A = this chain, B = another copy of it.
Amino acid sequence: MKIALLGTGTVGRMLGAALAGQGHEVTLGTRDPAGPLAWVGADAMESPPISEWFTAHPGIGLARFARAAEATELVVNATNGAASLTVPARTGTGNLAGKVLLDIANPLDFSHGMPPSLTVCNRDSLGEQIHRAYPAAKVVKSLNTMSAALMMNPGLVAGGEHSVFVSGNDAEAKKTVTALLTDLGHTDVIDLGDITTARTSEMLLPIWLRLWGALGTPLLNFKIVR
């Protein structure tokens, strides 16, 4: 499947590499490809420069948002929450029409100090905002409830015995995402319901952040026992 990942941050790159490893044709979307490639300093996460990463992943493309999303079947929103409403706009609504738009971002609000709160929650969510802003796309919320490492390698914790959620109004789009998740090794994909349930998975972030603090590791996840 041809997949565009919007965002060249840690999450976009890690998920891009994992999906390319599954045989998908992956292009990372960015505002200006010259930007990340020219940037040689280590980033805040102390990753190597992005140009080195692309050298190490020769099969993965880098293009402007709109170019990356052209002729793809699936577009992944892997930007940070603050950019999540503007980046699909840069991608061009025509390039999103009829496609699965997998939103893995969280509306984290750092303006009130640490740990972050949410910019939207309770009776709305980032997933719903994106759904309303791009009605021609088939928005599915998923993967936003775990660290990037676990998204693509669930076996890192508890032998992969934990849960991942999907929310969205389009049953076929949720099927596409569920198949992708299963290929990545996720064994318990729970369909929460329509896109309004995105607010409930986004509201897991505050306790996820506190659990990271309490347990001393981001390698943790929610397993829904029943």
Of all chain B residues, which has the CB nearest A221?
A: B225
Bound-complex Cα distance A207 to B164 (A): 12
Q: Do B223 and A121 touch (CB < 8 A)?
A: no
Also in contact, A222 and B220, with CB within 8 A (given A123-B112, A214-B191): no
Q: Do B211 and A190 touch (CB < 8 A)?
A: yes
Cβ of A148 within 8 Å of any chain B Cβ, yes or no, is no
Residues in B neighbouring A153, C-beta threshold 8 A: none
How many copies of the shown chain assemble into the complex?
A: 2
Residues in B neighbouring A169, C-beta threshold 8 A: none
Q: Mark A188-226, 1 if CB is under 8 A from B, else 0.
A: 001111000101110110110111011101011111111
Q: Do B122 and A225 touch (CB < 8 A)?
A: no
Chain A: interface size category: 35 or more
Cβ of A158 within 8 Å of any chain B Cβ, yes or no, is yes
Also in contact, A226 and B157, with CB within 8 A (given A190-B211, A201-B207, A207-B200): yes
If A193-B210, A193-B214, A203-B207 are given as contacts, then 13 extra A-B residue pairs at C-beta distance below 8 Å, sorted by A number, are: A117-B123, A118-B122, A121-B121, A122-B122, A157-B225, A157-B226, A158-B225, A158-B226, A161-B225, A200-B210, A203-B203, A222-B223, A223-B224
Interface pairs (24), CB distance under 8 Å: A112-B123, A118-B122, A121-B121, A122-B122, A122-B206, A158-B226, A161-B225, A162-B223, A190-B211, A190-B214, A193-B210, A193-B214, A200-B206, A201-B207, A203-B203, A203-B206, A204-B204, A211-B224, A215-B224, A217-B226, A221-B225, A222-B222, A222-B224, A223-B223
